[in-house]
A and B are shown apart, each in its own frame.
Chain A
Amino acid sequence: MYAQLVKAEGMKSPEEMTPEERAFQERIDRGEKIEPKEWMPEGYRKTLIRQIGQHAHSEVVGQLPEGNWITRAPTLERKAILLAKVQDEAGHGLYLYSAAETLGVSRDELIELLHAGKMKYSSIFNYPTLNWADIGAVGWLVDGAAIMNQVQLQKTSYGPYSRAMIRICKEESFHQRQGYDILMKMCLQGTQAQKDMAQDALNRFWYPALMMFGPSDKDSIHSAQSMAWKIKINTNDELRQKFVDQTVPQAEYLGLKVPDENLKWNEEKGGYDFSEPDWSEFFEVIAGNGPCNTERLEARVNAWEDGAWFRDGLMAHAKKQDARRAAARLAAE
């Protein structure tokens, strides 16, 4: 998902736990929220920092593929809408960085880890947005998949993370709808060329969207611990299935064909059977070898470094103002 392949600590049985750890687990099992500064196992804290940090980075890097089309949007209205959407993503990044900061890591530290290649962001943002239909597909599929993940995370055990998710979910459904709206226009009222564009976008984004949920957690020990701690509520496979079941009828409404020969309704399980994405491609993209990894990270690093003088300038001004106020107060006494 926005936090794929988050490394978690190995899982302990109740007998191996210290009394503190056991009491902590019992609180989580009772559905209590864990709040900043309360005692928590080091592994819980570390896993959360990785997961929330990766999630925050994804929100911010996720602005880049869409930002590419702000100046190229077909109408002024589409441009204003896309701008608002991309601005939301910046806000979502901020809510999440703030949640991570309550765990004792600073935002600058997290940003530096991202820039040094020591933290990741979602694989999906390493794919290019080649035409306007891609912006529709990103909103519809990528935000759609993100919502699927984030809705369950509203119930996560860590209070600040849960609250950030609740806020984000409130704003996110606008994102998915604006994407679908772009595709409705192209597919239902557009020319053949526009329909072809939309189909092409679906062809390219379908499997990368399925990869967003991460590999099957059948073999993952990390998932088990994260689920026990309720920093992950559903398995990757459950979410992927739900996403496919929800999305296929939406594609049909648009008159688009999901690029999967094996896609078939399975009456017995009450869901679709579908092909797995190519996981070797996923691991390549995660390892830094996707189509746009270099470009994305470069854009982030440049924005950070080119903005340093400005951030420092504002800070210097604030300090000067503080000093001036302090001097004035002293003079008045």
Chain B
Amino acid sequence: MSSEWPLWEIFIRGQHGLNHRHVGSLHAPDADMAIRNARDVYTRRNEGVSIWVVKSNDITASAPSEKGPLFEPSNSKVYRHPTFFDIPAEVGHM
């Protein structure tokens, strides 16, 4: 009786020191194999310098249906953006 390999989410850090970024998922029996498979699937063209793997089941995600209330607080705070403030041209670059 065969049992399906668990699903892993794959995160790769690119060449330029940016954050690890989610690139996709794959099946693997364990974490070591997930890293090997991620190397073969997601870094065939020098896409990265570091790989994280996380079991998909271990990820907690915000619910799509709560998108409104969850993000509303920041929607109403336009003053958090620098473009909110008018700086006169004679002040120069700021």
Contact = CB atoms under 8 A, between A and B. Distances in A.
Contact of B64 (A35, A87, A95): A35
Interface in A172-194: none
**Main SS at interface, chain A:** helix
A149 interface: no
B4 A108 contact: yes
A59 to B, nearest CB: 13
Interface in B52-94: 61, 63-65
A167 B26 CA distance: 15
Interface residues of A, number: 28
A218 interface: no
A228 interface: no
11 contacts: A37-B63, A88-B44, A98-B25, A106-B4, A108-B4, A164-B24, A171-B45, A308-B2, A312-B2, A314-B29, A314-B30
A91 interface: yes
Given A35-B64, A321-B30, A107 B25 contact: no
Nearest to B26: A94
A87 B3 CA distance: 25
Nearest to B30: A318
Contacts of B44: 84, 87-88, 91, 171
**By CB atoms of chain A within 10 A, which of B26, B29, B30 has the most?**
B29
Given A98-B24, A101-B7, A315 B41 contact: no
The 10 closest A-B pairs by CB, nearest first: A318-B30, A318-B29, A314-B29, A38-B64, A98-B25, A108-B4, A315-B29, A91-B41, A312-B2, A308-B2
Size band of the B side of the interface?
20 to 34
B20 interface: no
B33 interface: yes
Contacts of B65: 38-39
A315 B24 contact: no
A242 to B, nearest CB: 27
Nearest to B27: A107
A121 B26 CA distance: 21
A269 interface: no
Nearest to A174: B45
Contacts of B61: 37
B27 to A, nearest CB: 7
Contact of A315 (B3, B40, B45, B63): B3
Interface string A91-125: 10011001001000011100000000000000000
A95 B24 contact: yes
Interface in A1-53: 35, 37-39
A106 B27 CA distance: 11
Contacts of B5: 311, 314-315
Interface string B1-41: 01111010000000000000000111101100100000011
Contacts of A108: 2, 4
A272 to B, nearest CB: 35
Contacts of B64: 35, 37-39
A317 B33 CA distance: 11
Contacts of B26: 94, 98
Contacts of B40: 87, 91
A133 B76 CA distance: 62
Contacts of B3: 312, 315
B70 to A, nearest CB: 14
A38 B41 CA distance: 28
Contacts of B2: 108, 308, 311-312, 315
A317 B28 CA distance: 12
Nearest to A37: B64
